[in-house]
């Protein structure tokens, strides 16, 4: 298994090749420099809005919570090598989930969507909405678990009933053949 640094170095190298390749592939185009800088300015503006929205919604804290959940699951596994948990947390601290999610947000949200989401999450109602999320998620998890248990019980009962009906039909067919 390759180390984190070699994978990061590989990723940075690939990114550098792509950036240089894109720069050179556009060298022969007739696109005006002003249009290119306007496009990059628009992308930068949009990225800043994505980061603002992510800060308002606590994306970095959510990332830390994800790390905590993952480490909790890892600790339950019996075949974790010594030092894994410490190294995992160290490596996770070097990489921001926000940086990884920015392109996802940029791809899926228009600038208008971002403006509206920023306005909402910056408002008193938006702040109350965000403050309520941990409680909502905890309660939704409990409701979901109860629902899952109830569905599993109903499913088992339905399967048992079907098995009894099939067994009863088989017995009645056997009696007719005699």
Q: Over 80: is that where the pLDDT of 174 sits? A: no
Q: Give the distance from CA 46 to its chain's centroid.
A: 21
Residue-wise pLDDT for 61-84, tens only, equals 888 888 888 888 887 877 888 888
Q: Over 80: is that where the pLDDT of 89 sits? A: yes
In this predicted structure, what is the pLDDT of residue 66? 84
pTM > 0.85: no
Residue-wise pLDDT for 2-26, tens only, equals 444 443 344 444 344 343 343 333 4
């Amino acid at each position: 298994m390759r180390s984190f640094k070699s994978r990061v170095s590989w990723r940075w190298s690939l990114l550098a090749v792509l950036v240089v390749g894109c720069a050179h592939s556009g060298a022969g185009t007739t696109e005006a420099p002003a249009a290119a800088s306007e496009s990059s300015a628009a992308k930068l503006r949009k990225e800043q809005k994505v980061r603002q929205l992510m800060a308002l919604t606590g994306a970095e804290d959510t990332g830390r919570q994800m790390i905590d959940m993952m480490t909790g699951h890892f600790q339950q596994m019996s075949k974790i090598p010594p030092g894994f948990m410490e190294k995992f947390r160290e490596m996770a601290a070097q990489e921001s989930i926000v940086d990884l999610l920015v392109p996802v947000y940029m791809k899926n949200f228009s600038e208008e969507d971002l403006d509206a989401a920023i306005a909402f999450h910056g408002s008193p109602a938006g702040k109350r909405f965000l403050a309520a999320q941990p409680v909502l998620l905890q309660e939704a998890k409990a409701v979901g678990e109860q629902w899952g248990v109830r569905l599993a019980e109903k499913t088992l009962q339905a399967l048992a009933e079907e098995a009894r009906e099939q067994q009863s039909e088989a017995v009645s067919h056997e009696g007719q053949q005699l």
